[in-house]
Chain A
Amino acid sequence: MTSNPNNITVKVDRVSKSFGDFTAVKDLTLAVRAGRIFGLLGPNGAGKSTSIRMIVNITAPDSGSIELFGQKINSRIQDRIGYLPEERGLYKSMKVGEQLRFFAQLKNVTGKDALQRIDTWLDRLKLSEWKQKKTRDLSKGMQQKIQFISAVLHDPDLIILDEPFSGLDPLNVELLTDVVLNLKRAGKTVIFSTHAMDIAEKICDDICLINRSRKVFDGSIREVKKSFGRNLIALRVEGTNGNLAASRLVSNVEHHSDEMEVLLATNADPQEFLKELIASGAVVTKFEMIEPSLHDIFIEKVSETQ
């Protein structure tokens, strides 16, 4: 594996793409680091799929450049990519095993090697008994898993999944999430697009939010959350006079049944606040920094740019 010096697997530089009058992607710049899971988030029609299609070299950008593994896309590089498109497509009348063999051949994986991998993957995704069945006899969820296998069968270094979890039941979502995490553990780079924020939150290392064909923000999930940090603390204390609002560190207090939500003043240090509490003789039974969920951030940013 040729890893490039700065460990960037995918580099998208000021890429734009329009279809007629419609601008699908405008000035998109992003970098996907090797060995990490990168979430491409955004509402429907934001330009996620078009961006992905350009990365996998299905459509060419109007302007800007894309580099994979430090090189311009070429057919050898294409073999190192696994792609699961948003619109699933399988040959309905082909048997599952044959179909996977065909897709493997298209990635230059042939012979016994291919057969072995097919069996391994079918087993891993609990589809072994369907190997000799025709694709049209499979449920939609199963077909989706078959399609997923076709994207990872050739052991690609970069796996690009467009909405991989849509239409799957919770059990299969769990199964596929595990598989994706395993791929990361094996050193693979994964890009996936979704609007399921809970899953993105669970497995992404880095994210990029796109809305109306432009990037809204990107960065590691930690950084993003931090930049959205509102210094909100869930607090349960005993033995305090309750006059927390008097502190210069606090800007607002909201009382719930047995706990409260304390919003700290701008630039106030939560540690300072905790010290102050303890010094005041209060017994702290709960002190939790509430991070904004990806869901909240998504809603906030998307409605802001709407």
Chain B
Amino acid sequence: MTKLLAIIKREWTQRVRARMFIITTVMLPLAMIMFAIAPALVLRIDSGNPMRIVVVDGTGKLLPRLKTSLNGDDAASDPEANVATRANSIASGRSSDFIFEQLQTAGRSEDDIKAELETRLRDKEIDAYLILPPDLMQTSKAQFFRRNTSDLISTRKIRDALDGALRTQRLVEAKVDPRTIGQLDRSVDFETTRISGAGRERDAGGAFALVFLVGFVMYISILLYGQIVLGAVIEEKETRIAEVLFSSVRPFTLMTGKLLGVSLVALTQLTIWGVAFAGFALYGVSVLNSRGIPTRLPSIPLLFYVYFTVFFLAGYFVYATMYALLGSIVTTAQEGGQAAMPIIMLLVISFYLFLPVSRNPDSAVSFWLSMIPFFAPTSMLVRIVTQTPPLWQIALSLVISLSTVAALTWLTAKVYRVGMLMYGKRASIPEVVRWVRT
């Protein structure tokens, strides 16, 4: 027992003090924040210059409607605009992103106009031109020309705006009362409320973010610490430390000590992240609230942290034992990296499963996925966050995971005790099978 503790302690102190630990602890959350806010930032940068569009309005009626539809409810000009709209406008680019110019076409041929506009487009005088033929009201066919067609967001905005303008115009022509049109155009105010055992709460997309975050953190931590186990095992094999250690401790003690030690490092890091996240969240919310921006966090019950820890540990041990087995078979770190690909694939799949599972957490597929030990950590946790399954399912999933861990530990110990002393070449599958049998 003293020996096991000594191994765990060494593993923990050495790793927590290592530069690598500090770097990942700081960098990973930063990277995630970057992932979360980068798209919005990038869009803001790109929308620096408004798009200059020349409109050839053959109908003579649609352009004003198009303008109102696109720039009309200009949030920036309205100090009273509510925060949500303002926040939206940041995420989706500024509202007054478009400058329209109407081209008078009296008596000119279509080809002539197009030729002129194309020249202006090439000379970068304008960014796009839109042709609304006179029979647009009947055919619903418009033409849009621009230099950069990969900016799907603007293109889609214009199309949607034109759609709206066309519909309104048709209604007007059908002699529908303008007030009725206003009513027809009002889009639905969609308020989502999550009903769970704990009660009801408003949800503005926070839950999805939470599911994603949970799945991602779970995946990245298991991957990170699985790789650390792999590296640690290979190091002890490559440097022949295992041989010295085996003269003092049983291989099984060394292996379990290693797995436990690294798991404690992982828990240390997760705790740091958890506390930091909670701190930032509380601080951020209070700042937003004090500035008059009412914000609420999706409430995370305490039990959830317990579930996260338990399922993280289950997943960690499932994958870490596989990594340890692999590490004891291969001879170098490079070889280990290549051989680990199937394990990584399994992990990546388990991460992406958060999508189907979160959409349909109660389906049979979700149920079975959360019972497979390789997928259980992410799948079951996503289910718990979205729509907590009955307790027996959670318990069953855990029991299956823990049984798998026990079986894998047994298997790995058999391979490990021989593999760690085999130098020179990577063991073949039949060899490994023989080690397990003896």
Instruction: Tell me the nearest residue of chain B to A75, going by C-beta.
Output: B250
From A78, A81, A90, A110, B241 is in contact (CB under 8 Å) with A90
From B240, B245, B247, A87 is in contact (CB under 8 Å) with B240
Q: Which of B236, B246, B421 has the most CB of A within 10 A?
A: B246
Q: Is A59 an interface residue (CB 8 A)?
A: yes
Q: Which of B14, B236, B245, B247 has the most CB of A within 10 A?
A: B247
From B2, B18, B249, A110 is in contact (CB under 8 Å) with B2
Interface membership of chain A positions 83-127, coded 1 if the CB is closer than 8 angstroms to chain B and 0 otherwise: 101011111111000000011011110100000000000000000
Chain A interface residue count, Cβ-Cβ cutoff 8 angstroms: 28
Q: Which residues of B contact A194 (CB under 8 A)?
A: none
Q: Which of B10, B242, B243, B248 has the most CB of A within 10 A?
A: B248
Q: Is B3 an interface residue (CB 8 A)?
A: yes
Instruction: Tell me the nearest residue of chain B to A56, going by C-beta.
Output: B247
From B7, B244, B248, A89 is in contact (CB under 8 Å) with B244
Q: Is A186 an interface residue (CB 8 A)?
A: no
B3 touches A108 (CB 8 A): yes
Q: Is A65 an interface residue (CB 8 A)?
A: no
Q: Which of A79, A94, A107 has the most CB of B within 10 A?
A: A107
A150 touches B14 (CB 8 A): no
A108 touches B241 (CB 8 A): no
Q: Using a Cβ cutoff of 8 Å, how many contacts connect chains A and B?
A: 60
Q: Is B239 an interface residue (CB 8 A)?
A: yes
B3 touches A89 (CB 8 A): no
Q: Is B6 an interface residue (CB 8 A)?
A: yes
Q: Which residues of A contact B249 (CB under 8 A)?
A: 106
Q: Which residues of A contact B6 (CB under 8 A)?
A: 102, 105-106
Q: Which of B242, B243, B245 has the most CB of A within 10 A?
A: B243
Q: Is A246 an interface residue (CB 8 A)?
A: no
B192 to chain A, nearest CB (A): 51
Instruction: Tell me the nearest residue of chain B to A79, going by C-beta.
Output: B248
B180 to chain A, nearest CB (A): 76
A53 to B10, CA, bound (A): 25
A106 touches B245 (CB 8 A): yes
B240 touches A78 (CB 8 A): no
Contact A91/B14 with A58-B243, A85-B243 known, Cβ cut-off 8 Å: yes
A94 to B244, CA, bound (A): 16
A58 touches B14 (CB 8 A): no
A58 touches B236 (CB 8 A): no
Q: Which residues of B contact A78 (CB under 8 A)?
A: 247-248
Contact A150/B244 with A91-B14, A94-B14, A105-B3 known, Cβ cut-off 8 Å: yes
Q: Which residues of B contact A79 (CB under 8 A)?
A: 248
Within 8 A of A (CB), among B205-249: 236, 239-249
A89 touches B243 (CB 8 A): yes
Within 8 A of B (CB), among A25-77: 53, 56-59, 75
A107 touches B248 (CB 8 A): yes
Q: Which residues of A contact B7 (CB under 8 A)?
A: 106
B14 touches A88 (CB 8 A): no
Interface of B is mostly: helix
B246 touches A108 (CB 8 A): no
From A56, A90, A110, B239 is in contact (CB under 8 Å) with A90
Q: Which residues of B contact A110 (CB under 8 A)?
A: 2
B233 to chain A, nearest CB (A): 13
Q: Which residues of B contact A102 (CB under 8 A)?
A: 6, 10
B421 touches A103 (CB 8 A): no
Instruction: Tell me the nearest residue of chain A to B434, going by C-beta.
Output: A20
Instruction: Tell me the nearest residue of chain A to B418, going by C-beta.
Output: A59
Instruction: Tell me the nearest residue of chain A to B422, going by C-beta.
Output: A19
A81 touches B2 (CB 8 A): no
A58 touches B3 (CB 8 A): no
A53 to B423, CA, bound (A): 14
A169 to chain B, nearest CB (A): 22
Q: Is A231 an interface residue (CB 8 A)?
A: no
Q: Which residues of A contact B3 (CB under 8 A)?
A: 105-106, 108
Q: Which residues of B contact A87 (CB under 8 A)?
A: 240, 243, 423
Instruction: Tell me the nearest residue of chain B to A110, going by C-beta.
Output: B2
Q: Is A147 an interface residue (CB 8 A)?
A: yes
A58 touches B246 (CB 8 A): yes
A102 to B249, CA, bound (A): 12
A135 to chain B, nearest CB (A): 10
A85 touches B244 (CB 8 A): yes
A78 to B244, CA, bound (A): 12
Within 8 A of B (CB), among A188-220: none
Instruction: Tell me the nearest residue of chain A to B257, going by C-beta.
Output: A106
From B2, B10, B18, B240, A85 is in contact (CB under 8 Å) with B240
B16 to chain A, nearest CB (A): 13
A83 touches B247 (CB 8 A): yes
A78 to B247, CA, bound (A): 7
Q: Which of A59, A85, A88, A93 has the most CB of B within 10 A?
A: A85
Within 8 A of A (CB), among B1-30: 2-3, 6-7, 10, 14, 18
- Beyond A83-B247, A90-B239, A106-B249, 4 additional pairs, beta carbon < 8 A: A58-B243, A88-B240, A105-B2, A108-B3
- B→A interface (CB under 8 Å): 2-3, 6-7, 10, 14, 18, 236, 239-250, 421, 423
17 contacts between A and B (CB under 8 A): A56-B247, A57-B247, A58-B243, A79-B248, A81-B247, A85-B240, A85-B243, A87-B240, A87-B423, A89-B240, A90-B239, A91-B241, A92-B239, A102-B6, A103-B244, A105-B3, A106-B7
- A→B interface (CB under 8 Å): 53, 56-59, 75, 78-79, 81, 83, 85, 87-94, 102-103, 105-108, 110, 147, 150
The 10 A-B pairs with the shortest beta carbon distances in the complex, nearest first, are: A89-B241, A105-B6, A89-B240, A87-B240, A83-B247, A106-B248, A89-B239, A85-B243, A56-B247, A58-B246
